């Protein structure tokens, strides 16, 4: 067991976070096996309470199984959270590396471009993009990725600027290595730890944005999602609380798990803390 693994597993928050994320991933993997019927199918009596009429977590206004919706919704949340974060990382890391390593006018232009994006509220911009492009899994991933990259770009820029001044980077330049080689082989690997942590936290934010979009009716109509389930149950919350509460708990546990893993990663990747 290496030092990173020992440090990570030695933190209770990281273990609890991994357990929560493992549960969510297990639901996503087992959803087609446990509930092979579409989560949109009306398989029971409407407004069945949890445990009634064979419904583990009850049914909604149309007789759809809430448990089936939660398990299938886990697949959507994980897919959108991870894919949109990878999109944001791709954009943010490239722009951050360009700004931090090139400096000068390139740095100034990218910083100003990033600031323009940050003046627009993330959620408002996401709503606008999804509404224009029509709601679908692809457009939601693209929209969330496009609103999530600025913090990653700023962090990457700061890390690259710091690492680029170190002696081993200067030595690589003196050896005649190309700029791309220096960045990919020497700069980025030594700047990546904080970026990984922020990327993990970005997944949680992406899941919340997707849930909010689905709550407002801007989710993909072909896929069940937790946000849609909460939205469909908000008008009957007093009569059928389970329709909104259980999907809300699923979102809460997933986001808490990701944040706990992110905190544990931050501590494990920090040399000073991990040696403590």
In this predicted structure, what is the pLDDT of residue 66?
92
Q: Per mean pLDDT, which range of 50-54, 166-170, 207-211, 254-258 is the poorest?
A: 166-170
On the question of pLDDT at 251 being above 80, the answer is yes
Nearest CA to 197 among 268, 262, 258?
262
On the question of pLDDT at 173 being above 80, the answer is no
Q: Is 53 within the bounds of a domain? A: no
Q: Is 35 within the bounds of a domain? A: no
Q: Is 62 within the bounds of a domain? A: no
Range of the domain at 216: 3-30+73-271
Average pLDDT on 10-32 reads: 89
In this predicted structure, what is the pLDDT of residue 177?
77
- Residue 52: count of CB within 10 angstroms of its CB: 13
Mean pLDDT score across all residues of the chain: 87
Q: Is 44 within the bounds of a domain? A: no
Q: Is 38 within the bounds of a domain? A: no
- Name the pTM for this structure: 0.89
Total domains present in the chain: 1
Q: How far is CA 35 from CA 63, 65, 73, 240, in A?
A: 15, 9, 12, 22
Q: What CATH number did the domain enclosing 197 receive?
A: 1.10.3720.10
In this predicted structure, what is the pLDDT of residue 186?
78
On the question of pLDDT at 274 being above 50, the answer is no
Residue 114 token pair: 């990033």
Report residue 91's pLDDT band, with 50, 70 and 90 as the boundaries: very high
Q: Is 42 within the bounds of a domain? A: no
User: What 3-state DSSP class applies to 218?
Assistant: coil
In this predicted structure, what is the pLDDT of residue 272?
52
Give the tens place of pLDDT for each residue, 195-222.
888 998 899 999 999 999 998 888 888 8
Q: Is 61 within the bounds of a domain? A: no
Q: Is 197 within the bounds of a domain? A: yes
CB 197 within 8 A of CB 205: no
On the question of pLDDT at 85 being above 60, the answer is yes
């Amino acid at each position: 067991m290496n030092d990173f693994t020992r440090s990570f597993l030695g933190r209770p928050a990281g273990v609890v976070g991994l357990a929560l994320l493992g549960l969510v991933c297990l639901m996503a993997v087992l959803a087609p096996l446990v509930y092979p019927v579409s989560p949109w199918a009306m398989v029971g009596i409407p407004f069945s309470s949890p445990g009634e009429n064979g419904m583990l977590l009850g049914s909604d206004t149309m007789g759809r199984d809430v448990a089936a919706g939660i398990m299938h919704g886990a697949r959507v949340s994980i897919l959108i959270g991870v894919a949109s974060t990878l999109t944001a990382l791709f954009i943010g890391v490239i722009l951050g590396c360009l700004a931090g390593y090139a400096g000068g006018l390139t740095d100034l232009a990218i910083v100003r471009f990033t600031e323009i994006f940050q003046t627009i509220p993330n959620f408002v911009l996401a709503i606008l993009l999804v509404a224009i492009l029509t709601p679908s899994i692809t457009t939601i991933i693209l929209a969330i990725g496009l609103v999530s990259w600025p913090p990653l770009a700023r962090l990457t820029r700061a890390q690259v600027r710091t690492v680029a001044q170190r002696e081993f980077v200067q030595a690589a330049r003196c050896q005649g290595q190309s700029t791309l080689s220096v960045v990919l082989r020497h700069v980025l690997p030594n700047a990546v730890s904080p970026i990984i942590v922020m990327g993990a936290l970005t997944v949680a934010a992406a899941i919340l944005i997707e849930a909010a979009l689905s709550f407002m009716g801007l989710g993909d109509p072909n896929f069940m999602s937790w946000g849609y389930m909460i939205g469909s149950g908000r008008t009957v919350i007093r009569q059928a609380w389970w329709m909104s509460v259980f999907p809300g708990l699923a979102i809460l546990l997933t986001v808490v798990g990701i944040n706990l893993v992110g905190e544990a990663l931050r501590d494990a990747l920090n040399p000073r803390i991990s040696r403590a």
